[in-house]
Amino acid sequence: MDTESLYKTAKLLMTPGKGILAADQSVSTMNKQLEAIGATPEAETRRLYRQLLFTAPGIEKYVTGIILYDATIRNHTDDGTAFVDHLIAKGVIPIIKVDKSTVPFEGFPGEVVTEGLDGLKERLEEYFKMGARAAKWRAVVNIGDGLPTLDSIKFNCMLLARYARLCQEIGLVPIVEPEVIYEGTHDLARAEEVTTLTLRTLFTVLTQYRVDLKATILKTSMVLSGSKNAKPSTPEEVAEATLQTLDNAVPNSVAGIVFLSGGQTPEQVTANFNAIGKLEKESGGLPWALAFSFSRGIEQPVQEVWKGKSENVSAAQQKLIEVLERNCKADAGQL
């Protein structure tokens, strides 16, 4: 394990003033997004959309890395340049999503487990050869009546630990993503309780399985009341609960923390992220760098401008840069 290279990559990914773009939607998710804007849900449309994102002029000023799906890392621009090579030439680190999504967790009604460990070592080695230098694995934690169970959280954290350790052995920085689902009727206090429990469990297990936290990035949910709760959280409440949770649950040695947008609207997630940035400034700084790693929170406005039409590519790329710049300002609490 080349720890120095891992530390260097992790540091580059957490470069202040920039974030990570999550462009790793699965084929089915991407097709739904294309249908929503009236575009044809097929492989060529998906390639054109990813090309629009990756070739946007100046994107490297705002992102350190882009998370890719398996089909995307194997794809190319119109002139035949591999997407990976195009990003590396811009100084953007290719990150690969390696989990194979969630399935129901037998014996645990209402809970899910993430698949993808089978053959993972060989896949990671292939991705490394293709140019990826970081990876991502997502676990899902649902809040509900009697949910989550500690056993389910622990099991998913063990899978994250196995994935993370394999990544580091091969030379990839693991991004560990235990997403606490926003959907639900739970209040802010319950969201904070579950997120704190999940993160504490995660880092206990990662340490137990000898994952180097200095070469590990956490991708986490913001702490906010459920989408169906009668009292939506204000940005200030989200910021306070989120930073309190991180302070209570995340070891100082972790390389950095990035936030997922997790079902929030682009406007909502940026407002919450800005409040976190402001509170961070007021607190005099944190042990870790914070950044965004949004998918819907960045891409939805871009898709709405593009609509799958070639004549809208330039305007959509301009919208992408606007949204990225806005979130970079939010990171510093400057909106």
Instruction: Give the global pTM.
Output: 0.98
CATH of the domain at 192: 3.20.20.70
From 18, 97, 177, 319, the catalytic residue: 177
The HSE-up count of residue 50 (CA atoms within 13 Å, CB side) is 31
Domain residues for the domain of 90 are 3-331
According to DSSP, residue 61 is labeled: G
> Is residue 134 within 8 Å of residue 176, measured between CB atoms?
no
From 18, 97, 136, 219, the catalytic residue: 219
Whether the predicted pLDDT of 205 surpasses 90: yes
Per-residue pLDDT tens for 270-296? 999 999 999 999 988 899 999 999 999
Mean of the pLDDT values across residues 17-34? 97
Confidence of residue 105 (pLDDT cuts 50, 70, 90): very high
219 belongs to the catalytic site: yes
Number of domains the chain is built from: 1
| Type of residue at 124 | L
What's the CA gap between 182 and 261, in Å, rounded? 10
Confidence of residue 188 (pLDDT cuts 50, 70, 90): very high
Spatial neighbors of 134 by CB under 8 A, at least 6 apart, are 9, 10, 13, 65, 93, 94, 95, 96, 167, 172, 173, 174, 175, 217
b/e sequence 5-29, b meaning 16+ C-beta within 10 Å: ebeebbbbbbbeebbbbbbbbeeee
pLDDT value, residue 138: 98
Across the chain, mean pLDDT equals 97
Whether the predicted pLDDT of 1 surpasses 90: no
What's the CA gap between 220 and 261, in Å, rounded? 9
Mean of the pLDDT values across residues 154-166? 98
Tell me, letter by letter, the H, E, C secondary structure of 245-266.
HHHHHCCCCCCEEEECCCCCCH
Strands 19-23 and 112-114: unpaired
Provide, rounded to the nearest whole percent, the portion of the chain with pLDDT above 70.
100
Per-residue pLDDT tens for 220-274? 999 999 999 999 999 999 999 999 999 999 999 999 999 999 999 999 999 999 9
Confidence of residue 210 (pLDDT cuts 50, 70, 90): very high
192 belongs to the catalytic site: no
